[in-house]
Structure 1
Amino acid sequence: MFYRRGNKMSVSFDYSGKVALVTGAGTGIGRETALAFAKAKAYVAIIGRSENNIQETLRLVTEMGGQAIAIQADVSQEDSIKAAIEKTVETFGKLDFAFNNAGIEHKAIPAADIPSEEWDRIISTNLNGVFFSMKHEIPAMLKSGSGSIVNTASGAGVKGFPGNGAYCASKFGLIGLSKAAALDYAKQHLRINVVAPGIIETPMMQRFTGGTEEGRETAIAQEPVGRAGHPKEIAGTVLWLCSDLAAFTTGSVFVVDGGQTA
């Protein structure tokens, strides 16, 4: 539904009766997207590694009148995310939407200097985690006859950044996986797309910039629009991709980065 507030046109979604799963839902983009799904009246599975963080997201959802469950899980461990998806279906009866958002970063370091264990850590969460999630989300959605999956990449999934070899590899790989899977299930009413955020006001950005105002200003200077993005702006893209407005959209990458990679 479209509505006007002053001079701004806005969109609201009604996902009554739909079930949405969000990984990395304890903070930042994941939390805002879980809240956005709840505001749209979807049932929400809030999944994350930190029990404290996902419980806080659950509190916020409940406070606004939404219905949700919080499930502690590590997407880098297949059995863990499999159990979380099974719990979601057991609780709500089905799965309509999945936002595979869980991800981690590493400190800037030249490619040849990346410790092997650090490479494995990044790939295990950012790439393997999305594969494991989709591996068990897709059968659940096919049982319902349709579904929409959105995976979180990054501007570093469409453009190389110095010192970010492992992170870039994980996000480029995520995009390739998503595009191939989108084609695998295109005729089965299951859509798979990617959102690639730029510099967004999240705890990850705070770690990336060293938590200093100088670091923050240096990061924002990369944004042609002159500011960092807000998690709500990514959440809006995700909800649109899950809607009927995006029914002809699959295998696509939506770069939401204020022009950073243009």
Structure 2
Amino acid sequence: MSENRLLAGKVALITGASSGIGAAAARVFAREGAKVVLAARREDRLKEIVDELRAGGAEATYAVTDVTRPDDTAEAVQQAVTTFGRLDAAFNNAGWGVGRSPLHKMGDQLYDEIMDVNVRGIWNCLRDEIAAMLETGGGTIVNTSSVGGVVATPVAAPYVAAKHAVIGLTRAAAAEYAAQGIRVNAVAPGTTRTEVVEQWFAAVPGIEEQLHAATPQPRTADPREIAEAAAWLCSERSSFVTGVTMPVDGGFTMV
């Protein structure tokens, strides 16, 4: 049974793992046989999820991590190597996007914060993960972009720019390290029912219905659906796939 699981025996690092897509990925990756290292800033949430996974028989640990801090991402990768011997897969999911505002009214501080988490955070993770994977002959990395990285959406210019940059970093890393056994891909989620999105729906009446109307599959994604796509991309079943950004959006970017 275990040999049929997507990630059987692999060591995987998941960032942004304390909630939303990252927490769903922790459960999906563990279910599929991975030994997981969960990274995020909220230690109480990380501990709770790790305890849950261990109770279900998974091998799991966590590292309190702010992805904008290079020392933190280096420590998270090192924890994977120290605890489980290597790093085979990474899901760079930590991200942030709030403060919807017209571009000409957007302040520098908000722009910097959005770019720092979504772009520098991916940069920091890639650098450390690739270095570790080169030591053991390869691996797979998945970065979280967004439909906002594929098409422009209004009043979110820094977020759109950041998520386009994630796709650029994904393609650059994929091209540079493919011959060395490292595959790098991205997922581009559509509207997904995370805590932040739930707060947005509550604050802007009618926005959920508007988004459903613009989506061929007229609903909001469950975080698990994004995690399932990331798990496949991290597995050997996608062994000839690299440099790709996979929309997981119910057809939103198709129309």
TM-score, normalisation: structure 2: 0.94
State which drifts further: 78-87 or 125-134: 78-87
Label 1:243 to 1:14 Cα distance change in 2 as closer, same or farther (>3 A): closer
| Aligned residue type for 2:87 | L
Q: Distance in 2 between matches of 1:14 and 1:177?
A: 26
Query: Corresponding residue for 2:182?
Result: 190
Q: Distance in 2 between matches of 1:64 and 1:216?
A: 35
Q: Say whether 1:169 aligns with 2:176.
A: no
* Greater fraction of residues in helix: 2
- Contiguous gaps of at least 5 residues in structure 1: 2-11
- The C-alpha deviation readout for 1:62-86, integer Å capped at 9, x for no partner, is 2321110011110011111111111
- The C-alpha deviation readout for 1:155-188, integer Å capped at 9, x for no partner, is 0000001101010010001100110110000101
| Aligned residue type for 1:102 | A
Q: Distance in 1 between matches of 2:55 and 2:205?
A: 32
State which drifts further: 104-113 or 214-223: 214-223
- 2:56 aligned to 64, 74, 80, which one? 64
Q: Name the SS of the counterpart of 2:133 in structure 1.
A: helix
- Contiguous gaps of at least 5 residues in structure 2: none
Q: Say whether 1:226 aligns with 2:236.
A: no
Q: Say whether 1:55 aligns with 2:47.
A: yes
TM-score, normalisation: structure 1: 0.92
Q: Distance in 2 between matches of 1:105 and 1:55?
A: 25
State which drifts further: 225-234 or 146-155: 225-234
Residue identity over aligned pairs, in percent, reads 38
Label 1:222 to 1:59 Cα distance change in 2 as closer, same or farther (>3 A): farther
Any residues of structure 2 matched to 1:136-147 within 5 Å, and which?
Answer: 136-147=128-139
Aligned residues: 252
Q: Distance in 2 between matches of 1:30 and 1:220?
A: 23
Contact 1:107 1:208 in 2 (8 A): no
CA RMSD of aligned residues (A): 1.5
| Aligned residue type for 1:92 | F
| Aligned residue type for 2:195 | P
Query: Corresponding residue for 1:205?
Result: 197
| Aligned residue type for 1:32 | A
- 2:36 aligned to 30, 44, 54, which one? 44
- The C-alpha deviation readout for 1:37-60, integer Å capped at 9, x for no partner, is 111121100111111221222122
Q: Distance in 1 between matches of 2:247 and 2:192?
A: 12
Any residues of structure 2 matched to 1:1-262 within 5 Å, and which?
Answer: 13-210=5-202, 214-262=206-254
Q: Distance in 2 between matches of 1:154 and 1:242?
A: 18
State which drifts further: 229-238 or 128-137: 229-238
